[in-house]
Amino acid sequence: KQEVTQIPAALSVPEGENLVLNCSFTDSAIYNLQWFRQDPGKGLTSLLLIQSSQREQTSGRLNASLDKSSGRSTLYIAASQPGDSATYLCAVYGGATNKLIFGTGTLLAVQP
Amino acid sequence: GAVVSQHPSWVICKSGTSVKIECRSLDFQATTMFWYRQFPKQSLMLMATSNEGSKATYEQGVEKDKFLINHASLTLSTLTVTSAHPEDSSFYICTAGVTDTQYFGPGTRLTVL
């Protein structure tokens, strides 16, 4: 059974800091991994999608890496802003059960 | 790009009534759809996997008689919450996809009074 864990569960940083969010998964036979942000009471906003054959994806201040063999992904946010405050979720698709499983989430607060 | 819609986007109902949520793939045919629910301050939990033309596969702990899933066509899956109770109040999200890619619906917020 695929298990997806995100560390830390919550993070508070001052504006301008660079930060790293972590996602680990137990079954490495995945198709892809995706990072989302979710604002309170809202749906999911897709940030980055990394296919299993890729090692990283970049979009603006965001960079996501994938190490399938070790079952890990990181989301790097450069020069954080208060508007980055949200819950960040990773989701892996595939594995032995061919399901899409979400991580436990990281609640990020960027202090002005 | 692939678009997935959900209807309604929010619904309020009385305890004991049934509510149907639709998930549609608008510009592609989806062989697989997943249904999730999200309680406040928690992550998304997989409820069931829906494959077109076959019965849904439910996750452990999800009552199949309470959460009826129908995947009648390659573009539509429905989730019916039967005899809803306040503890069923949640955010429900579907995904639809083919092969190795899933696309996400915007979600439906259900409030049961």
Q: Check if A81 contacts B (Cβ < 8 Å).
A: no
CA distance B65 to B50: 15
Would you place residue A95 in the very low, low, confident or very high pLDDT band (cuts 50, 70, 90)? confident
Nearest to A44, CA basis, from A32, A35, A52, A33: A35
Nearest to B110, CA basis, from B42, B17, B46, B1: B17
Average pLDDT over residues A53-65: 97
CB–CB of A32 and B46 under 8 A?
no
Closest-CA residue in chain A for B45? Answer: A102
pLDDT of residue B54: 82
Which of B6, B10, B100 should be substituted to probe chain A, the one whose Cβ sees the most A Cβ atoms within 10 Å? B100
What is the tens place of the pLDDT at every residue in A12-47?
A: 999 999 999 999 999 999 999 999 999 998 999 999
Contacts of A43 in chain B (CB under 8 A): 91, 93, 104-107
Does residue A98 surpass a pLDDT of 90? Answer: no
pLDDT of residue A44: 92
Does residue B52 surpass a pLDDT of 90? Answer: no
What is the tens place of the pLDDT at every residue in B3-40?
A: 999 999 999 999 999 999 999 999 999 988 999 999 98
Q: What percent of chain A has pLDDT over 70?
A: 100
Does residue A84 surpass a pLDDT of 90? Answer: yes
Q: What is the mean pLDDT of chain A?
A: 95
Sequence-ordered alpha helix ranges (H) in A1-112: none
CB–CB of A102 and B93 under 8 A?
no
Does residue A83 surpass a pLDDT of 80? Answer: yes
CB–CB of A93 and B46 under 8 A?
no
Average pLDDT over residues B32-55: 90
Closest-CA residue in chain A for B107? Answer: A43
Does residue B71 surpass a pLDDT of 90? Answer: no
Nearest to B46 among A101, A104, A105 (CB): A101
Q: Which residues contact A98 (CB under 8 A, 6 or more apart)?
A: none
pLDDT of residue B55: 87
CA distance B44 to A62: 23
Structure tokens at B103: 């696309």
Nearest to A43 among B34, B100, B107 (CB): B107
Does residue B1 surpass a pLDDT of 80? Answer: no
Contacts of A93 in chain B (CB under 8 A): 100-102
CA distance A43 to B96: 16
Within 25-54 of B, beta carbons closer than 8 Å to A belong to 34, 36, 42-46, 49
pLDDT of residue B100: 79
Would you place residue B99 in the very low, low, confident or very high pLDDT band (cuts 50, 70, 90)? confident
Compute the nearest-CA separation of B16 from chain A (Å): 25
pLDDT of residue B89: 96
Three-state helix/strand/coil letters over A25-48: ECCCCEEEEEEEEECCCCCEEEEE
pLDDT of residue A69: 92
Give me the residues paired with residue A107 across strands. A10, A87
CA distance B29 to B35: 17
Q: What percent of chain A has pLDDT over 90?
A: 89
